[in-house]
């Protein structure tokens, strides 16, 4: 079947196909990139690729640093989340979150960066009643939260610099380095009743971590080491699910 036949005889927009091809190549980069580099990848002229990149910056999908290099923002994460829903991967991730919550007897949360904040995209609750402090769809600051510390800590340094320059509050560079060294973030939230919170990255490669997994419980009710090992196993399971989904979507 030809491409035009599969679309009811309507020819696709060549300019859109070129932009999508450009995005596919950008997705293969592991950090900031320049116009010439990406132009070579797609086999296009430097001037045309530059216009495409400027368009993506205007749309909020890319950002530029002080040296003029380009980086992906977190806007494409919403598209990735939709792809997970369409592939029913979100249901399997929810099952993992619920299983972890049952093992711990405490609530679990999956978060990602949404612009200038942490966005809760998944929740797991145990069978017994627990105090719920985070709801699906809730947004809160990256600074001062365990999920935010992990997500910010595993960003590329240029992306953190860009966000700070935009006035977004992030954990200090020392705190970010500590998260990467230890592989987790832990804090006590005593705004109301003291709550212990621990969060781990889903993945471990700086610049490629898009989700973080956390659990919270009343201070002193759980052993942090046990919670941490359980969360790390859950994070690996979620990482496998998202990688498998990405493979299906790209095949």
pLDDT at 1: 40
Question: In which band, very low, low, confident or very high, does the pLDDT at 244 lie, cut at 50, 70 and 90?
Answer: low
Q: Which long-range contacts (CB under 8 A, 24 or more apart) does 60-66 make?
A: 61/23, 62/26, 63/159, 63/162, 65/32, 65/158, 65/161, 65/162, 66/161
Is there a contact between 219 and 187 (Cβ–Cβ < 8 Å)? no
Q: Express each pLDDT in 37-94 by its tens digit.
A: 999 988 889 999 999 999 999 998 898 888 889 988 877 777 776 766 665 557 888 8
The yes or no reply on domain 76-250 and CATH 3.30.450.40 is yes
pLDDT surpasses 50 at 139: yes
Question: In which band, very low, low, confident or very high, does the pLDDT at 193 lie, cut at 50, 70 and 90?
Answer: low
pLDDT at 134: 63
DSSP of 25-41, one letter per residue? Answer: HHHT-SS-B-HHHHHHH
Segment 168-191 mean pLDDT: 92
- Every domain of the chain with CATH number 3.30.450.40 lies at 76-250
pLDDT at 172: 96
DSSP alpha helix (H) spans, the chain? 3-6, 14-27, 35-42, 46-59, 76-86, 89-104, 146-153, 157-165, 173-182, 224-250
User: In this prediction, what percent of the chain has a pLDDT beyond 70?
Assistant: 86
pLDDT at 3: 47
pLDDT at 249: 39
pLDDT at 86: 63
pLDDT surpasses 50 at 2: no
User: Selecting from 3.30.1540.10, 1.10.10.10, 3.40.50.2300, 1.10.3720.10, what CATH number does the domain 3-72 have?
Assistant: 1.10.10.10
Q: Express each pLDDT in 204-222 by its tens digit.
A: 988 889 899 999 888 777 7
- Rounded to whole angstroms, the Cα distance separating 78 from 95 reads 21
* Average pLDDT score over the chain: 84
**Element of type H or E holding 170:** none
First to last CA, the chain: 18
pLDDT surpasses 90 at 100: yes
- Three-state SS for 77? helix
- Rounded to whole angstroms, the Cα distance separating 121 from 105 reads 20
- Every domain of the chain with CATH number 1.10.10.10 lies at 3-72
Q: What is the CA radius of gyration of the chain?
A: 20
Total-model pTM = 0.68
pLDDT surpasses 60 at 192: no
pLDDT at 85: 65
Q: Express each pLDDT in 149-175 by its tens digit.
A: 999 999 988 889 888 988 999 999 999
Higher pLDDT pick, 191 / 160: 160
Closest by CA to 53, choosing from 26, 14, 77, is: 26
């Amino acid at each position: 079947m030809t491409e035009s036949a599969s679309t009811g005889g309507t020819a696709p927009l060549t300019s859109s196909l070129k932009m999508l091809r450009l995005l596919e190549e950008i997705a293969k980069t592991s950090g900031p990139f320049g116009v010439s580099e990406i132009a070579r990848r797609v086999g296009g002229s430097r001037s045309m690729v530059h216009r495409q990149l400027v368009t993506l910056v205007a749309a909020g999908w890319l950002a530029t640093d002080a040296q003029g290099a380009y980086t992906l923002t977190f806007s494409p994460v919403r598209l990735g989340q939709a792809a997970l829903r369409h592939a029913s991967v979100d249901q399997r991730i929810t099952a993992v979150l619920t299983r972890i919550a049952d093992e711990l007897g405490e609530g679990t949360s999956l978060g990602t960066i949404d612009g200038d904040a942490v966005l809760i995209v998944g929740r797991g609750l145990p069978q017994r009643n627990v105090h719920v402090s985070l709801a699906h769809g809730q947004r809160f600051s990256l600074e001062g939260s365990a999920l935010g510390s992990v997500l910010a800590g595993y960003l590329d340094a240029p992306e953190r610099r860009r966000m700070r320059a935009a006035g977004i509050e992030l954990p200090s560079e020392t705190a970010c380095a500590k998260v990467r060294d230890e592989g987790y973030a832990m804090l006590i939230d005593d705004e109301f009743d003291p709550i212990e919170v621990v969060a781990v990255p889903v993945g471990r490669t700086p610049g490629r971590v898009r989700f973080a997994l956390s659990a919270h419980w009343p201070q002193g009710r759980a052993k942090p080491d046990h919670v941490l090992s359980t969360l790390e196993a859950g994070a690996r399971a979620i990482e496998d699910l998202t990688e498998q989904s990405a493979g299906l979507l790209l095949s």
